[in-house]
Structure 1
Amino acid sequence: MKFKIAYLAVLTLLSLTVQAQTGNWKNLFNGKDLSGWKAVAGKATFEVKDGVIEGTAVHGTGNTFLVTDQMYTDFILEVDLKINHISSNSGIMARGQFDPAARNGQGLVYGYQIEADPTPRAWSGGVYDEARRGWFYPLDLNPAAKSAFKMGEWNTYRIEAIGNTIKTWINGQEVAYFVDDMDAKGFIGLQVHSIQNKEDEGRKTYFRNVRIQTENLKPIPFKGDVFVVSTLKNELTDLEKKNGWKLLFDGKTNKGWVGAYKNTFPEKGWNIQDGILTIQKSDGSESNSFGDIVTTEMFSAFDLAFDFKITEGANSGVKYFVTLSEGNKGSAIGLEYQILDDVNHPDAKQGIDGNRTLASLYDLIKANKQPRFVRKPGEWNQGRIVVYPDNRVEHYINGVKVIEYVRGSKEYRDLVAISKYKVWPNFGEAKEGRILLQDHGDEVSYKNIKIKPLK
């Protein structure tokens, strides 16, 4: 009897050890065949060899996805992925969607995709909204994670999709933190990307150890100072609060803002509704109708993020290091992140070499951006301005870095000397200043205005 009890105790201990190691994992791939999966949207092929899913690229077809029959809401997913060639871009769909009637019946996969990017751009682990809204988390937002993905080696992806939050890791490295409420449920998908060159036909993307948890989920908190992208209205995550972020606009009141050169907030023109701050359209002139608004607080080094939505043909700007000391008429003086409809506003063709276009340092430095990273009028874009303590400055549009310069450098001062700002001594070199939202006579909306002081 004692032997039997001891034997049962050993079995119980072994069972508990296995459970501790495996958690609530369920294999989505049985290692033998593609049961529970189906290929959609393209003509690339998938087959199983030696316990590995091999996706083979086919020239002349669109992106192809191997998707689960089952749909998932909240989950933690782990997948091993390997790419051997620069042409083999891939990705993992998380809560993916499928429209079988799209593309003349060929079908269309869309939704959240976690990138596998073998190119020098190195955006693996970033979040891309496939066939819908485009990039939300390029790795310009987390450059430290660009080295996590290894070409020609197995890379372990971890994806947590819990509630409205998607977090990603590659080989244990924290990569992306994205908050969005568009899709609460969808399939898991493995991508073989379309290829441009016939000679790349036959190249393979490899997947193995595809496993998922859907119950008793225990998310891993991010420990690093990782930038958070959120499409929600004026909410900070616990990680952002921990890392020193604060809202400059609470979504309900004008607290923390006043009219430029005034002691109070403008009585009309600036409206707050449903968590959105909007300047009304007037006559298209600069700061003559309702006036600019500025923060009551001053900032020196900082990381500033803001969502903005323009109307067709609109012109506006977010200015920084605004001192209000010039006493000028019109818009207050400061460094300006240009907000503009490049297609429909004439100012895009003014200045020098495009230095008055969207996300540019207005009248000084052109934003080096591609049109595909910019969303159209009526859609939300995310701007970001980072000013480091050593006076390095960066501009971003939708997570892509488009400008880098140094305040007070010779190069910077040479640009000021041939700009409209040459009349202002030491333009843009103040130790600290206010943040300004411009009234340029066009309707522009803002939300998620948040800032983190840098030291």
Structure 2
Amino acid sequence: MKKRILLMVTLVAMLTSCAQGPKWQDLFNGENLDGWEKLNGTAEYKVEDGAIVGISQLNTPNTFLATNKNYDDFILEFEFKVDDGLNSGVQFRSLSLPEFQEGRVHGYQFEIDPSERAWTGGVYDEARRGWLYPLNYNPEGQQAFKNGEWNKARIEAIGNSIRTWVNDVPCADLLDSTTASGFIALQVHSIGNAEQEGKSVAWRNIRILTEELEQYRMPEKSDVKQINQIANTLSEREAADGWVLLWDGKSSDGWRGAKQDSFPEAGWSMADGILKVHKSDGGESTNGGDIVTTRLYKDFMLKVDFRITEGANSGIKYFVDTDLNKGQGSAIGCEFQILDDRRHPDAKMGKDGNRTLGSLYDLIPAPADKPFRSGFFNTAMVVVEGN
């Protein structure tokens, strides 16, 4: 009899525990802005009909209403509605530090974009690297946002995995390790003309889950493109798709000097996962000289993150034949040009801009409006298929 009573009590306790479900915490009480603080700009935030409403204002930078608490791993849900023509977003794992641009808010942002571009649900790195997951990677996700209506958003930030949804449609699938913890903030974007003044963006039903995340995270969808921004690593999906690392982030394995059998003893260095070519006297391929892979490649997709100093001139060469030039100068091959277009004279040479950043050197010019962030890592991509 005692065993039966004990069994019944245990079952009741288990059922009660299951019935409780996820332990959501409300970040907004629906009545006032307790627990939030305004950062950077001077745009107005007010509570109206159970929602936080942000109102655009001229002559102010981006304004953020930030939580007083920081969060690391979480699932965040909220509803939002935005006037047409007003860009906005929700920051997460974000920071405001005196040593970073005098307290400028920076970190991950869930994009709210009512424009024809339709990138709502994409992930932007505010005040740092720019776009991490633009939604042209996911055309189905671009269709999820409903202009002029309340939309439902979900963000899962668990470890290095960041995923987003709009109206239950998967949007972004990102791997990144830059910031592990920070506040959540509601953005009112700066505006450039009087026609945009007074437009509003609203948020309601803002709640966060910080416990038992593995139990409540959404299943992975392999048809949503995954972007890995973690340096010198391959995700499981990338490895399964056939990607390999050309550089392991720490050694010269797989590389040699273009005009020697081993890796150059000077002119190059490796530290903190970065391969760096040192400053030369301005001569072509002087100091350490070019380096090449020890293996040959035919058809391929190549991605390289690169960062240049002011006035730098470099490149990513492919189909290099190291036997064509044994003397002075660089190795011969096709070249993805890497150049400081503003400060290096080579940008004005050649023909029709075919020596500018991103060009196939001396052959095909890159677009003049190509995205490039000086002082940050940018990503080059080369696709070769047949001719």
The alignment's TM-score, normalised by the length of structure 2, stands at: 0.83
Match of 1:214 in 2: 210
- Corresponding letter in the other structure for 2:20: Q
Cα deviation, residue 350, structure 1: 0.8
Asked whether the equivalents of residues 41 and 64 of structure 1 are also in contact (C-alpha less than 8 Å), the reply is yes
Match of 1:163 in 2: 159
For residue 374 of structure 1, the aligned residue among 366, 372, 375 is: 372
Cα deviation, residue 262, structure 1: 4.9
| In structure 2, distance between residues paired with 1:102 and 1:293 | 36
Query: Counterparts in 2 of 1:283-294, with a 5 A limit?
Result: 283-287=281-285, 289-294=287-292
Match of 1:118 in 2: 114
Give ranges in structure 2 of 5+ residues lacking alignment.
1-8
Asked whether the equivalents of residues 123 and 172 of structure 2 are also in contact (C-alpha less than 8 Å), the reply is no
Match of 1:444 in 2: none
| In structure 1, distance between residues paired with 2:296 and 2:334 | 14
Match of 1:336 in 2: 335
Distance 1:55 1:273, change over 3 A: closer
Q: Is 1:19 paired with 2:17?
A: no
| In structure 2, distance between residues paired with 1:246 and 1:145 | 28
Match of 1:438 in 2: none
Asked whether the equivalents of residues 304 and 386 of structure 1 are also in contact (C-alpha less than 8 Å), the reply is yes
Cα deviation, residue 260, structure 1: 3.0
Give ranges in structure 1 of 5+ residues lacking alignment.
1-7, 392-428, 430-455
**SS of 2:96 mapped into structure 1:** strand
**SS of 1:173 mapped into structure 2:** strand
Match of 1:66 in 2: 65
Asked whether the equivalents of residues 137 and 178 of structure 1 are also in contact (C-alpha less than 8 Å), the reply is no
Match of 1:403 in 2: none
- Corresponding letter in the other structure for 1:89: N
- Corresponding letter in the other structure for 1:19: Q
Distance 1:32 1:102, change over 3 A: same
Asked whether the equivalents of residues 266 and 287 of structure 2 are also in contact (C-alpha less than 8 Å), the reply is no
Cα deviation, residue 251, structure 1: 1.8
Asked whether the equivalents of residues 83 and 205 of structure 1 are also in contact (C-alpha less than 8 Å), the reply is yes
Distance 1:261 1:62, change over 3 A: closer
| In structure 2, distance between residues paired with 1:240 and 1:311 | 30
**SS of 1:335 mapped into structure 2:** strand
Distance 1:384 1:67, change over 3 A: same
The C-alpha deviation readout for 1:228-273, integer Å capped at 9, x for no partner, is 242x542223333333322110122222223336544344433333
| In structure 2, distance between residues paired with 1:384 and 1:291 | 23
The C-alpha deviation readout for 1:397-420, integer Å capped at 9, x for no partner, is xxxxxxxxxxxxxxxxxxxxxxxx
| In structure 1, distance between residues paired with 2:283 and 2:191 | 48
Distance 1:39 1:175, change over 3 A: same
**SS of 2:144 mapped into structure 1:** coil
Distance 1:225 1:334, change over 3 A: farther
For residue 277 of structure 1, the aligned residue among 252, 275, 278 is: 275
- Corresponding letter in the other structure for 2:283: S
Asked whether the equivalents of residues 87 and 113 of structure 2 are also in contact (C-alpha less than 8 Å), the reply is yes
**SS of 2:105 mapped into structure 1:** strand
Match of 2:126 in 1: 130
Asked whether the equivalents of residues 138 and 224 of structure 2 are also in contact (C-alpha less than 8 Å), the reply is no
| In structure 2, distance between residues paired with 1:356 and 1:384 | 17
For residue 296 of structure 1, the aligned residue among 294, 297, 301 is: 294
The C-alpha deviation readout for 1:208-245, integer Å capped at 9, x for no partner, is 22111112222444523624242x54222333333332
| In structure 1, distance between residues paired with 2:226 and 2:248 | 20
Match of 1:424 in 2: none
**SS of 1:385 mapped into structure 2:** strand
The C-alpha deviation readout for 1:155-206, integer Å capped at 9, x for no partner, is 332222233443333332231414133x332211111212222122222212
Distance 1:334 1:180, change over 3 A: same
Query: Counterparts in 2 of 1:339-354, with a 5 A limit?
Result: 339-354=338-353
Match of 1:386 in 2: 383
| In structure 2, distance between residues paired with 1:176 and 1:366 | 32
Cα deviation, residue 284, structure 1: 2.5
| In structure 1, distance between residues paired with 2:226 and 2:323 | 33
Asked whether the equivalents of residues 135 and 171 of structure 2 are also in contact (C-alpha less than 8 Å), the reply is no
**SS of 1:226 mapped into structure 2:** coil
RMSD, matched Cα: 3.3
Q: Which one has more relative contact order, counting CA pairs under 8 Å at least 6 apart?
A: 1
Cα deviation, residue 17, structure 1: 6.4
Cα deviation, residue 91, structure 1: 0.5
**SS of 1:310 mapped into structure 2:** coil
The alignment's TM-score, normalised by the length of structure 1, stands at: 0.72
| In structure 1, distance between residues paired with 2:290 and 2:49 | 65
Distance 1:195 1:277, change over 3 A: closer
- Corresponding letter in the other structure for 1:173: P
| In structure 1, distance between residues paired with 2:351 and 2:271 | 38
**SS of 2:223 mapped into structure 1:** coil
Asked whether the equivalents of residues 133 and 172 of structure 2 are also in contact (C-alpha less than 8 Å), the reply is no
**SS of 2:239 mapped into structure 1:** helix
Cα deviation, residue 327, structure 1: 5.7
Match of 2:189 in 1: 193
Match of 2:49 in 1: 50
Asked whether the equivalents of residues 76 and 217 of structure 1 are also in contact (C-alpha less than 8 Å), the reply is yes
**SS of 1:111 mapped into structure 2:** strand
Asked whether the equivalents of residues 228 and 234 of structure 2 are also in contact (C-alpha less than 8 Å), the reply is no
| In structure 1, distance between residues paired with 2:307 and 2:105 | 27
The C-alpha deviation readout for 1:347-366, integer Å capped at 9, x for no partner, is 01111232211122222333
Match of 2:172 in 1: 175
**SS of 2:47 mapped into structure 1:** strand
Distance 1:319 1:303, change over 3 A: same
Asked whether the equivalents of residues 24 and 208 of structure 2 are also in contact (C-alpha less than 8 Å), the reply is yes
Asked whether the equivalents of residues 257 and 289 of structure 2 are also in contact (C-alpha less than 8 Å), the reply is yes
Match of 1:147 in 2: 143
| In structure 1, distance between residues paired with 2:253 and 2:100 | 47
Cα deviation, residue 285, structure 1: 2.6
